[in-house]
């Protein structure tokens, strides 16, 4: 008689088969065997993998007829060597502890002693976490954590300077405390650079973007997505389910055959896909310099098939299949893990410039590297100047000191951005250029640092700040060698031409000088320009577009230009939001006086002026995260004009009761 297996037995058999396949793939990946069912291959692979283990050596000795247990010669242990900056880190932490004890014991600050104890606890935690993470900066998660702890220390340093500027009796104490915090924050960058340089990178420029465990997760996601696509993990389709995965699988194989992309069909075989990914994952586990350089030189070629599969299959299947798109997204996610992460410039911070040529690269330092080193040098000089200025600070120029401390804090953020960048003037470098516009607003002729004349800044300091903003933060870029700048210049010139034509059609004057600012940009694919000329034209376009809209004339914008300049705007708006949120904290630490409100107001005004110089308007209020409406809410809105809050929904129960 025929036997009819129950659905539960079929599911059990399918699960067992899947588990066996997963185990076989694990053995192939980790032990490098061709046939996981061959015990001799598995035994030999285990001995090769653990040949350094005493137990494996004992088994080998026993197979030769020798005694199983043998005395193992003692291995001389080598004491761990401290890092090159270990003494400096100890000195920095000792300085911070000394400053904290001095501040918490001072009678003048007895009213804010609980807040200072909170500072001490948070700072000690940041120091410990940052140091432990910076030592292992080769791991991307630890590198990110180290940078986060550095920023937290910089935040406390700036807060200490802000509080000290409005506590005249202890201005020197707070600034010394901020100096100690800066020492520790800067040492974190040096320690991270040492962690990268100590593995002997040489000329390598590849840094892992995700951790090793994350690679394993992405690898498994791609395998599971492939099984879902080909139907090997699904139960039988229900009577009302469309087999969209199988249909997409059939169309995809036919598409690859028709377009001559037969080599891509190997990625639809689980064993081949697993082998390709396992090789890269295994190679990424070698965190030595040779291992990382080997991954950086082979991952691009090995993953070329993945990227071709995504491009060929993305728009070639009709109707769209969720299973296919899940598989393509998993492939793209795995491939993106091998894109190099920023951070190799940290070695330029940890090592002296005399070593850059030859030892740490074949071409020495590029323009962005030189700007980073110059930025670090000028930042130190500015900090020393401000400490001297604070000693002679009086009530009339206290607001100027607060603004200059803001510039010092912004330079630390620019250093972090340049350390994580890998282009001459990419997105991170453009984001750092935003602080050049802040410097312009601080040294503005109508600002508190220039008026009144009796307390104005020294002209030499103003010149140094302007040179820092124009030469380092907003350098002149050769558009022939920078594709991003070249494309932005071409597009913004085209957009400006449309604005000029629309102004002429509407009979409006070119009061924002769009034509002359457009002429200041190079018209050909050669020449040089900077972020100042680009943002001046963009701000003029925004203001002119507002006048055109008021006259019911609309010009279609350019999304790429907005995105190129929007990076600078976003950084300024983030600073504006941070300045707003610090009000309550500063008022808690400072005695109630009018000068603190003036200083905080001028900080926001400076950021607003910088934002207007970039985009022609101040930062707009960001709306909170707004979830999309549910299906039932949408039906209520369409049928009964009910708002998402429920306002306007008719009371059907009361209506029925009235009818009865």
The mean pLDDT of 48-57, rounded to a whole number, is 70
Q: Which residue has the higher pLDDT, 200 or 149?
A: 149
Judged by average pLDDT, the poorest of 331-335, 551-555, 630-634 is 630-634
The mean pLDDT value for 298-312 works out to: 87
Give me 645's structure tokens. Answer: 């809050």
Of 34-43, 183-192, 291-300, 533-542, the least confident? 291-300
pLDDT at 320: 84
64 — phi, psi (to 5°)?
A: -90, 0
The pLDDT mean for the chain works out to 83
- The pLDDT confidence band at residue 82, using thresholds 50, 70 and 90, is very low
Residue 203: pLDDT band with limits 50, 70, 90: low
Q: With CA atoms as reference, report the closest residue to 576 among 410, 401, 375.
A: 410
In this predicted structure, the answer to whether residue 4 has a pLDDT above a threshold of 50 is no
Q: For residue 131, what pLDDT is reported?
A: 94
CA pair distance 499, 267, nearest whole angstrom: 50
Contact 470, 439 (CB under 8 A): no
Average pLDDT over residues 592-611: 86
The pLDDT of residue 2 is 46
Q: What is the DSSP string of 48-84?
A: HHTTTSHHHHHHHHHHTTS-S--PPPPPPP-PPPPPT
The ranges assigned to domains in the chain are 7-63, 85-197, 212-336, 483-615, 625-660
Residue 135 has pLDDT above 50, yes or no: yes
Neighbours of 468 (CB within 10 A): 23
Instruction: Tell me 527's DSSP state.
Output: -
| Residue of higher predicted confidence among 586 and 417 | 417
d(CA 195, CA 145): 14
What's the mean pLDDT in 590-618?
A: 87
More confident residue, 515 or 363: 515
pLDDT in tens, 503-551: 999 999 999 999 999 999 998 888 999 999 999 999 999 999 999 999 9
Q: How far is CA 81 from CA 84, 85, 86, in A?
A: 9, 11, 10
Give me the residues paired with residue 477 across strands.
529
Q: What angle do CA 625, 630, 633 make, to 5 degrees?
A: 110
Q: Higher model confidence: residue 66 or residue 311?
A: 311
Q: Do 338 and 321 form a contact (C-beta atoms < 8 A)?
A: no
Reported pTM: 0.80
Query: Across residues 245-265, what is the average pLDDT?
Result: 90
pLDDT tops 50 at residue 151? yes
Structure confidence at residue 45 (pLDDT): 80
Question: Looking at the predicted structure, is the pLDDT value of residue 81 above 50?
Answer: no
Q: Which two tokens stand for residue 480?
A: 């022939």
Q: Which token pair is 333?
A: 């996610």
Q: Which residue has the tokens 């976003």?
A: 570
How far is it, in rounded angstroms, from Cα 235 to Cα 296? 41
Q: Report the alpha-carbon distance of residue 237 to residue 243 in Å, rounded.
A: 7
| CB crowding 325-361: b at 16 or more within 10 Å, else e | bbbbebbbbbbebbebbbbbbbbbbbbeeeebeeebb
| pLDDT over threshold 80, residue 448 | no
- pLDDT of 221 > 70? The answer is yes
Question: Is residue 268 helix, strand or coil?
Answer: helix
Note if the bond before 452 is cis, omega within 30 degrees: yes
**Are the CB atoms for 313 and 328 separated by under 8 Å?**
yes
Phi/psi at 529 (nearest 5 deg)? -155, 175
Contact 116, 103 (CB under 8 A): yes
> Is 606 a residue whose pLDDT tops 90?
yes
- Token pair 């026993």 is at which residue? 62
Share of residues in the chain with pLDDT > 70 (%): 82
pLDDT attached to residue 74 = 41
Assign 68 a pLDDT band (cuts: 50, 70, 90). Answer: low
Select the highest-mean-pLDDT range: 149-153, 227-231, 643-647.
149-153
The C-alpha atoms of residue 73 and residue 185 are separated, in whole angstroms, by 45
Burial category of 582 from C-beta neighbours within 10 Å (exposed 0-12, middle 13-18, buried 19 and up): middle
Mapping DSSP to helix (H, G, I), strand (E, B) and coil, where does residue 135 land? coil
Q: What is the pLDDT, as a whole number, of residue 295?
A: 73
pLDDT at 487 over 90: yes
**Tens digit of each residue's pLDDT (9 = 90 or more) over 388-401:** 888 875 556 788 89
Confidence (pLDDT) at 414: 96
Q: Is 468 helix (H, G, I), strand (E, B) or coil?
A: helix
- For strands 477-478 and 528-529, give the pairing: antiparallel
Judged against a pLDDT cut of 80, whether residue 187 lies above it is answered with yes
Q: Which residue has the higher pLDDT, 231 or 469?
A: 469
What six digits make up the tokens of 342? 């920023």
What is the Cα–Cα distance from 566 to 589, expressed in whole angstroms? 35
Q: How far apart are the first and last CA of the chain?
A: 65
Residue 288: predicted pLDDT:
63
Q: Is the pLDDT of residue 202 over 60?
A: no
Of residues 116 and 243, more confidently modeled: 116
User: Looking at the predicted structure, is the pLDDT value of residue 446 above 90?
Assistant: no
Of 58-62, 103-107, 390-394, the one with minimum mean pLDDT is 58-62
451 vs 557, more confident:
557
Question: Looking at residue 5, what is its pLDDT?
Answer: 47
Element (H, E) at 478: strand 477-478
Full DSSP string of 605-642: HHHHHHHHHHHSSPPPPPPPP-PPPPHHHHHHHHHH--
Q: Is 550 exposed, middle or buried (0-12, 13-18, 19+ CB in 10 A)?
A: exposed
């Amino acid at each position: 008689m025929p036997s009819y297996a129950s659905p539960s037995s079929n599911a059990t058999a399918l699960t067992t088969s899947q588990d066996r396949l997963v185990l076989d793939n694990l053995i192939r990946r980790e032990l490098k065997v061709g046939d996981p069912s061959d015990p001799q291959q598995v035994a030999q692979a285990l001995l090769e993998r653990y040949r350094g283990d005493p137990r494996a050596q004992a088994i080998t000795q026993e197979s030769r007829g020798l005694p199983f247990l043998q005395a193992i010669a003692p291995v001389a242990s080598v004491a761990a060597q401290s890092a090159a900056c270990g003494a400096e880190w100890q000195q920095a932490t000792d300085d911070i502890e000394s400053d904290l004890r001095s501040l918490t014991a001072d009678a003048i600050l007895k009213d804010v002693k609980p807040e200072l104890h909170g500072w001490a606890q948070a700072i000690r935690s940041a120091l410990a976490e940052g140091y432990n993470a910076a030592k292992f900066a080769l791991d991307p998660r630890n590198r990110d954590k180290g940078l986060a702890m550095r920023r937290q220390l910089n935040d406390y340093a700036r807060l200490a300077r802000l509080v000290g500027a409005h506590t005249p009796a202890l201005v020197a104490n707070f600034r010394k405390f901020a100096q100690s915090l800066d020492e520790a924050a800067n040492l974190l960058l040096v320690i991270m650079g040492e962690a990268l340089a100590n593995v002997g990178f040489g000329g390598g420029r590849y840094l892992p973007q995700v951790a090793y465990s994350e690679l394993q997760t992405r690898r498994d996601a791609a395998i599971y997505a492939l099984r879902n696509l080909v139907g090997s993990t699904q139960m039988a389709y229900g009577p009302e389910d469309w087999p969209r995965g199988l249909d997409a699988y059939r169309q995809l194989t036919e598409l690859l055959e028709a377009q001559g992309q037969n080599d891509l069909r190997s990625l639809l075989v689980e064993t081949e896909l697993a082998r390709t990914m396992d090789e890269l994952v295994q190679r990424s586990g070698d965190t030595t310099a040779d291992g990382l350089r080997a991954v950086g030189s082979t991952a691009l070629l090995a993953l070329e098939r993945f990227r071709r599969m995504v491009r060929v299959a993305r728009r070639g299947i009709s109707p769209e299949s969720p299973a296919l798109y899940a598989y393509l997204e998993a492939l793209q996610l795995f491939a993106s893990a091998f894109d190099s992460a920023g951070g190799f410039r940290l070695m330029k911070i940890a090592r002296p410039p005399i070593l850059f040529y030859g030892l740490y690269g074949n071409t020495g330092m590029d323009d962005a590297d030189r700007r980073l080193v110059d930025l670090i040098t000028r930042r130190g000089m500015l900090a020393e100047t401000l400490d001297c200025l604070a000693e002679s600070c009086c009530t009339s120029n206290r607001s100027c000191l607060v603004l200059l401390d803001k510039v010092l804090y912004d330079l630390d953020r620019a250093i972090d951005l340049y350390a994580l960048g890998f282009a001459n003037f990419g997105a991170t470098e453009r984001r750092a250029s935003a602080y050049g516009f802040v410097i312009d607003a601080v040294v503005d002729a109508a600002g508190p640092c220039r008026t009144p004349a009796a307390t104005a800044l020294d002209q030499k300091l103003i010149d140094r700040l302007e040179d820092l903003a124009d030469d380092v933060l907003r350098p002149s870029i050769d558009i022939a060698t920078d594709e991003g700048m070249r494309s932005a210049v071409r597009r913004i010139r085209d957009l400006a031409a449309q604005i000029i034509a629309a102004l002429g059609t509407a009979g409006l004057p070119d009061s924002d000088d769009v034509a002359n600012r457009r002429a200041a940009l190079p018209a050909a694919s050669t020449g040089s320009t900077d972020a100042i000329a680009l943002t001046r034209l963009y701000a003029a376009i925004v203001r002119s577009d507002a006048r055109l809209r008021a006259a019911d004339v609309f010009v279609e914008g350019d999304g790429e230009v907005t995105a190129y300049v929007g990076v600078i705007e976003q950084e300024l708006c983030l600073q504006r939001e941070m300045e707003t949120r610090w009000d309550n904290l500063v008022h808690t630490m400072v005695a109630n006086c009018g000068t603190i409100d003036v200083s905080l107001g001028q900080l926001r005004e400076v950021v607003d002026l910088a934002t207007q110089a970039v985009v022609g308007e101040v930062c707009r209020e960001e709306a909170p995260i707004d979830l999309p409406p549910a299906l039932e809410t949408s039906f209520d809105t369409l049928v009964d004009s009910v708002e998402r809050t429920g306002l306007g929904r008719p009371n059907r129960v009361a209506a029925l009761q009235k009818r009865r």
